Structure 1
Amino acid sequence: MVSIQRIEEIIKKFNDIRIAVIGDMMLDEYLIGKVNRISPEAPVPIVNIEKERFVLGGASNVANNLTSLGGKAYVYGVIGNDANGEKFVKELEVKNVNSDGIVKDDTRPTIIKSRVLSQGQQLLRLDWEKDTDISEDIQNKILENFEKNIENIDAVLLSDYNKGLLTNNLSKKVIEIVKKHNKRVMVDPKPQNFKNYVGATSMTPNRKEILDYFGMKKFTSEEQIAEKMAQLKEELKLDSVVLTRSEEGVSLFKTKHKRIPTVAREVYDVTGAGDTFISTFLLSICAGADLYEAGVIANMASGIVVAKIGTAAATQDEILEFYKDNDSILKSI
């Protein structure tokens, strides 16, 4: 059980925490309109666009979550030298995210994912991206920007969407720099890149990602989950492993397995829930929470954003309100 007083004590400290986010930066575009007829040219709906909005996506959504929760975020990544890149930087400014670590690359576009919606339903998604590894020159620029600011941050979050930013070389050098300065580094990984993150403080794979890494189709028991988390921790020399399990909650492993069940809430959209979880978890750890306390708080934050439509973030007030609304359940955890 984590008391409301303890949660308040932890999240009040979020305002003093500075996190560097390194990863695949994206811009999410939402085109919202009405469908009144089918096209005479092909059997597809015609959407009369009434509204367009842009929000931070990918690793930049992690930064958005950090600032929404009161933390200070510094981002390090790549965008194209294009109009969407300008929109992206503007969104960072709106969200009070420090963009000094962003590098422009003339050889690749700013990653943008455009979603067409009508009556609350997504009809189509269009992606503009190049997912080959960034060049050695771009890697060095990112590392230079990052290392010169290392003293101004409390922890690092590596947000991997497998779009070519977190190369084996870049990831290893970031972890070396972080450990040299006695900071924490937490990773939200993709299974094909797990071995890039040897020596990180913690990793937060989801159920599918850890199954893919071990070449498995499913877990057959809680004991097997604990066994694989312990194996991952050992293989990658991590301090802990945090496994997000969707409707089954969260599993934590440092010296033993501990599970935190999901608090029941209506789910509208799971987009970005993992970003919310890892952001809240790392802020909580930096604020003095233990692994279990951080898991409970991050689980609540994720529960908040899945009840919202589209890429979203939680706030300190929403977490406290969520606790009060579900106190009988949370007190039993």
Structure 2
Amino acid sequence: MEKSRLEEILKSFQNLKVAVVGDMMLDDYLIGSVERISPEAPVPVVSIKEERFVLGGAANVVNNLSTLGAKAVCFGVVGEDFDGDRLIKELEKKSIETMGIVRSDDRPTIVKRRIIGGNQQLLRLDWEDARPITENLEETLLKQIEKQIDGLDAIILSDYDKGVLTPKVVKKIISLCKERGIIVTVDPKPKNALNYIGATSMTPNRKEAIECLGKKSFDNIIEVGKELKEKLELDNLLLTRSEEGMSLFQNNEVINIPTYAKEVFDVTGAGDTVISVFTLASAAGVTLHEAAKIANTAAGVVVGKMGTSTVTTEEILDFYNRIYNEWK
């Protein structure tokens, strides 16, 4: 791909409006140093130097879209609590539309708090209620989606298996999108795979793809992709394969794309970046091969960062230029 073509595609993201439906959460980080072991128990004592939080789960997908210049809309369920306030304020600070977020007083906002000592994660504390949302919450959420769906270029279903993407919610969204010709892409949880029959696309990693088929292992990952695409009646499938890059399944064709990552520090949130970029590029009307290449480049950037993070169009261009110059 010529650099000018990539610049043109990335610039077109600003003209797109994409929604994310899924499990919104906060990633909290308590960061410090470890200099001694507690006299009370054989555990390290962390002297906290910094506390910060970032958008996590489906909220990180929305954050990726916004960072890439698109108009981002989010739909989900959060608690009537302090963390829910924090999450919504952070989204609004990034100019993300939050009218589609439903507040609930009977389930907490999902928070994952990590204790970091000397660049090492020592402990994670989770606050969540992963039960499926109630029928009333389903109806309220779907009404919000129906109210705002016209004008969307795509919808991303970001499934962390925390109760928002129930079978009823998912099937209704896919039906609404099909009626309107709207792209609907899925970052799946394998146990819920059959909910996503008829979606436009799915972006599982190797392990997720195998588990979506109800298997524990599989020798030929290409056959896994073909079988999964057919089983779920997808238009296309983008299978991420770690150090082996990605495989794009469309029609009866399989295109393998090598990895571009030079250094891998943390794969946290890489899947969020892949589905964000792939969906935006697809909605921009480029070929799926081009969309997959750009998503692969973006993944190469984000795995070089620590923790949950996003990628900018400038970073994608800079990383692509380095690859391009090496290959000339």
Q: What's the TM-score, normalizing by structure 2?
A: 0.97
- 3-state SS in 2 of match to 1:53: strand
Number of the residue aligned with 2:176: 177
Number of the residue aligned with 1:103: 102
How far did residue 144 of structure 1 move?
0.5
How far did residue 225 of structure 1 move?
2.7
Q: Which moved more, 1:228-237 or 1:197-206?
A: 228-237
Number of residue pairs aligned between Structure 1 and Structure 2: 327
1:240 maps to amino acid: N
- 3-state SS in 2 of match to 1:211: helix
How far did residue 330 of structure 1 move?
6.1
Number of the residue aligned with 1:228: 224
| Kept in 2: contact 1:59–1:159 (CA 8 A) | yes
How far did residue 328 of structure 1 move?
4.6
In structure 2, relative to structure 1, the CA distance for the partners of 1:329 and 1:249 (3 Å cut) is farther
- 3-state SS in 2 of match to 1:61: helix
In 2, the alpha carbon distance for the partners of 1:22 and 1:215 equals 25
Number of the residue aligned with 2:320: 323
Q: Can you list the C-alpha shifts for 1:139-194, whole angstroms capped at 9, x where unaligned? A: 11111011111113111000000111101111000111111111110011011111
In structure 2, relative to structure 1, the CA distance for the partners of 1:187 and 1:330 (3 Å cut) is farther
| Kept in 2: contact 1:323–1:330 (CA 8 A) | no
The 5 A counterparts of 1:11-26 are 11-26=10-25
In 1, the alpha carbon distance for the partners of 2:17 and 2:269 equals 21
Q: Can you list the C-alpha shifts for 1:119-158, whole angstroms capped at 9, x where unaligned? A: 2111111111111100010011111011111113111000
2:117 is the counterpart of 1:121: no
| Kept in 1: contact 2:261–2:301 (CA 8 A) | no
In structure 2, relative to structure 1, the CA distance for the partners of 1:330 and 1:245 (3 Å cut) is farther
| Kept in 1: contact 2:16–2:71 (CA 8 A) | yes
In structure 2, relative to structure 1, the CA distance for the partners of 1:57 and 1:329 (3 Å cut) is same
How far did residue 272 of structure 1 move?
0.1
Number of the residue aligned with 1:290: 287
Structure 1: gaps of 5 or more residues: none
In 1, the alpha carbon distance for the partners of 2:77 and 2:327 equals 40
In 2, the alpha carbon distance for the partners of 1:330 and 1:137 equals 55
- 3-state SS in 2 of match to 1:70: coil
Once superposed, what is the RMSD of the aligned Cα atoms? 1.2
From 233, 245, 262, the equivalent of 1:249 is 245
2:314 maps to amino acid: D
In 1, the alpha carbon distance for the partners of 2:327 and 2:15 equals 27
How far did residue 212 of structure 1 move?
1.2
How far did residue 329 of structure 1 move?
5.5
Q: Can you list the C-alpha shifts for 1:65-90, whole angstroms capped at 9, x where unaligned? A: 00111111100001011111111111
- 3-state SS in 1 of match to 2:150: helix
2:88 maps to amino acid: V
From 234, 237, 240, the equivalent of 1:238 is 234
Q: Which runs of 4+ in 1 moved over 3 A?
A: 215-219, 328-331
- 3-state SS in 2 of match to 1:153: coil
How far did residue 230 of structure 1 move?
2.1
Number of the residue aligned with 2:88: 89
| Kept in 1: contact 2:64–2:310 (CA 8 A) | yes
Instruction: Give percent identity, aligned residues only.
Output: 54
Structure 2: gaps of 5 or more residues: none
| Kept in 2: contact 1:192–1:213 (CA 8 A) | yes
Number of the residue aligned with 1:8: 7
Q: Can you list the C-alpha shifts for 1:1-43, whole angstroms capped at 9, x where unaligned? A: x121111111110011110100001100011112122111111
How far did residue 228 of structure 1 move?
2.5
Q: Which moved more, 1:116-125 or 1:18-27?
A: 116-125
| Kept in 2: contact 1:10–1:288 (CA 8 A) | no
Q: What's the TM-score, normalizing by structure 1?
A: 0.95
2:313 is the counterpart of 1:311: no
2:29 maps to amino acid: Y
- 3-state SS in 2 of match to 1:50: strand
How far did residue 226 of structure 1 move?
2.8
